[in-house]
């Protein structure tokens, strides 16, 4: 069973919400009060885990702050109630959830005790247009039980955080396509100044994410303003390629403006500043549906905030001597690419290349993998273009800059269900967050693998090499042998995995 990428992204939040939840409701909650440099907080302690939800790290980006860089939160008076999650960022197709432009909040799960504990800041995925920091799978209790302060952060999505409005509204809105990355940078500043109040160690902060969250992590590795705010990074199904040039960002803005004026002929672009969020999202959906680019809403390069592509800045030393754990799932695109017409994939399925360049590489896949079906070759090639090769490039860049790097690939496949036999995009989340779905719970090979992956992540966040009982030794990545941990029923190391395939992409990406 396959679906379009766009449809998957629309459904991703609901998919995550359906996964097995930590049964925290079975435990009594007791009130917990702490004092941070930003003010006093009221949270809860549940099963020995301190939980604080909906903590503001920025002033609401509404009214005159719409489309503007985030402004640090003001110190609050009294006690801020942090027992309920804040609203999610505005997005289409996320029923049953409250949404608001006032969305710049974070959540904390912390062990009891004084610490100092290492900190893991999590960035959710969703194609830059969907997702939320408090999806049930991102309950941080399991990490907190392992002695880690887990922080999940929100950021503006789509038109609100990833659209360069300078072509429509003038130079005072220059670089507004990076406002979401500024949100994340400001959240890290808040963590740096406040996390000790939760028992966290501001000198041991790891930033990580999956999919768009992993790509945002790559950008943060390159952004000068974030350089001193974290010390390790985890990239799950990401890489550092997907960034708009200024010209590409301007083209997206002009396309958005054209669609806006078509739907609202009596308005001016200045009306974007006061328009209803639903109207802005309507034009966003129309742009995505008609764009020949996959994920037109992206960060942009060319300003002092993000001068070049993340992979280039990392290679030049922006994350020098810091640590990186990075990897992908073997069949990432299996959810999106299947037995479609011969024209599939189209340009709107590709994350980094134009269709002609991709087809030149893809034409060689048949001779490289003659025993694969056409569907399998499509899945493999699109997975490489979007996830695997960009992740390899980022691992190479960080290794070149003398940063300790470890690479993995998830090969586990479910024995039953619509994606049986495929290690598809997002499959890793239930393993790392210890939230198995019913199929995984019934599979005797899944639980040991999940424990290994989770423990390897925990050890990495704690400042050690990624390791776990019964997991074979995991060497650091090198440009000579490219050792990669293969997470499967029998985890093992492969050196130079699929070297011939990687060479096909040598000049394309």
Residue-level pLDDT at 349: 73
- The 10s digit of each residue's pLDDT in 362-393 is 999 999 999 998 889 999 999 999 999 999 99
Q: Are strands 149-153 and 105-111 parallel, antiparallel or unpaired?
A: antiparallel
- The 10s digit of each residue's pLDDT in 189-201 is 999 999 999 999 9
Residue 21: CB partners within 8 Å, gap ≥ 6? Answer: 136, 137, 139, 435
Coil, helix or strand at residue 16: helix
Residue 14: CB partners within 8 Å, gap ≥ 6? Answer: 94, 95
Q: Is 333 a catalytic residue?
A: no
Catalytic residue among 44, 166, 332, 422: 332
Catalytic residue among 80, 99, 124, 425: 425
Residue-level pLDDT at 67: 98
Residue-level pLDDT at 34: 97
- The whole-angstrom separation of Cα 125 and Cα 137 is 12
Give the rounded distance of the alpha carbon of 507 from its chain centre.
26
Residue-level pLDDT at 438: 93
Residue 370: CB partners within 8 Å, gap ≥ 6? Answer: none
Q: Is 25 a catalytic residue?
A: no
Tokens of 158: 């789509």
Which secondary structure element, helix H or strand E, spans residue 286, and what is its range? Answer: helix 277-290
Q: Is 342 exposed, middle or buried (0-12, 13-18, 19+ CB in 10 A)?
A: exposed
Give me the CATH topology for the region 5-504.
Rossmann fold (3.40.50)
Catalytic residue among 141, 211, 391, 426: 211
Q: What is the DSSP string of 342-405?
A: TT-S-GGG-SSS-HHHHHHHHTTHHHHSTTS-HHHHHHHHHHIIIIIHHHHHHHHHHHHTT--E
Record the pTM: 0.94
**Which segments of the chain have a pLDDT < 70?**
1-26, 338-344, 347-348, 509
Q: Is 375 a catalytic residue?
A: no
Coil, helix or strand at residue 21: coil
Residue-level pLDDT at 25: 54
At 215, give phi and psi (nearest 5°).
-70, -35
Residue-level pLDDT at 352: 79
């Amino acid at each position: 069973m396959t679906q379009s990428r766009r449809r998957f992204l629309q459904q991703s939040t609901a998919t995550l919400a359906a996964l097995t939840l930590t049964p925290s409701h079975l435990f009594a909650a007791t009130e917990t009060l702490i004092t941070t440099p930003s003010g006093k907080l009221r949270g809860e302690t549940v099963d020995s885990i301190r939980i604080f939800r909906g903590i503001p790290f920025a002033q609401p980006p509404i009214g005159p702050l719409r489309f503007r860089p985030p402004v640090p939160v003001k110190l609050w008076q009294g006690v801020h109630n942090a027992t309920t999650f804040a609203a999610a960022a505005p997005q289409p197709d996320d029923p049953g959830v409250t949404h608001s432009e006032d969305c710049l909040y974070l959540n904390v799960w912390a062990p009891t005790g004084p610490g100092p504990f290492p900190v893991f800041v999590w960035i959710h995925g969703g194609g830059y247009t969907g997702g939320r920091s408090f999806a049930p799978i991102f309950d941080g209790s399991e990490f907190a039980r392992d002695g880690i302060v887990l922080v999940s952060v929100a950021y503006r999505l789509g038109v609100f955080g990833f659209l360069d409005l300078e072509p429509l509204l003038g130079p005072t809105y220059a670089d507004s396509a990076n406002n979401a990355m500024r949100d994340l940078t400001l959240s890290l500043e808040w963590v740096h100044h406040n996390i000790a109040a939760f028992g966290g160690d501001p000198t041991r902060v790891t930033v990580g994410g999956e999919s768009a969250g992993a790509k945002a992590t790559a950008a943060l590795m390159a952004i000068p303003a974030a350089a001193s705010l974290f010390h390790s990074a985890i990239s799950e199904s990401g890489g550092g390629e997907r960034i708009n040039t200024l010209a590409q960002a301007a083209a997206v803005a002009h396309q958005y403006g054209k669609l806006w004026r078509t739907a609202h002929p009596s308005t001016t672009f200045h009306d974007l500043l006061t328009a209803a969020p639903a109207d802005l999202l309507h034009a966003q959906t129309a742009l995505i549906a008609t764009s020949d680019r996959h994920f037109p809403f992206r960060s942009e390069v060319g300003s002092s905030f993000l001068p070049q592509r993340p992979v280039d800045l990392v290679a030049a030393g922006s994350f020098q001597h810091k640590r990186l754990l990075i990897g992908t799932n073997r069949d990432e695109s299996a959810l999106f690419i299947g037995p479609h017409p011969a024209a599939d994939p189209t340009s709107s399925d590709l994350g980094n290349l134009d269709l002609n360049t991709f087809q030149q590489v893809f034409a060689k896949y048949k001779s490289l993998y003659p025993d694969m079906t056409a569907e399998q070759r499509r899945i493999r090639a699109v997975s490489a273009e979007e996830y695997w090769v960009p992740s390899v490039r980022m691992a190479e860049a960080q290794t070149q800059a003398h940063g300790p790097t470890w690479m993995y690939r998830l090969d586990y496949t479910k024995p039953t269900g619509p994606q049986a036999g495929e290690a598809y995009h997002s499959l890793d989340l239930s393993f790392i967050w210890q939230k198995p779905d019913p199929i995984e719970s019934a599979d005797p090979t899944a639980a040991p693998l999940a424990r290994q992956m989770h423990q390897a992540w925990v050890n990495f966040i704690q400042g050690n090499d990624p390791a776990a009982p019964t997991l074979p030794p995991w060497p650091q990545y090198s440009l000579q042998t490219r050792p990669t941990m293969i997470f499967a029923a029998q985890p093992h190391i492969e050196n130079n995995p699929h070297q011939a395939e990687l060479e096909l992409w040598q000049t394309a990406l």
